[in-house]
Amino acid sequence: MSDTRLTVTLDGGIDDARAIVRALEGVFGAPDGRPADEGATVHTATFDAPDTRHAPDASSAHPTGGALSAPVTVTVQGTPQAVEAASETLSRAFTARNEGAASGDQERERQLLLVP
């Protein structure tokens, strides 16, 4: 693992947040903490992004997050490789629509709309 982080921010209910985090765990491992506040309207999970030389191939993983109860907007932020892996994983686990991206020197951000 490197010191690089992947941050995932999402709106919606706690069960949907947990399903999305579960889908990402196959590629990134367990986050620093799982969404736990049932009253929150925004949830955040932070993962250690795997060293890209040793990272599992996101296309070979079979994410199993579960079904969503409502549309969820998800923002993933981190290295370009981590953001791409997270985006691919979420797109395979759920029906996803790319809502936009922003790139910096060493970091990328992408917003996805996941629908049930």
pLDDT tens, residue by residue, 68-115: 999 999 999 999 999 999 999 999 999 999 999 999 888 999 999 999
- Radius of gyration, CA atoms only, the chain: 13
Answering whether pTM is above 0.75, one says yes
* Percentage above 70 pLDDT, the chain: 83
Inform me whether the pLDDT recorded for 52 exceeds 50: no
> What is d(CA 30, CA 105) in angstroms, rounded to the nearest whole number?
27
Question: Residue 1's pLDDT band (boundaries 50, 70, 90)?
Answer: very low
Instruction: Centre a 10 Å sphere on the Cβ of residue 24 and count the other Cβ atoms it contains.
Output: 26
Question: Across residues 22-36, what is the average pLDDT?
Answer: 91
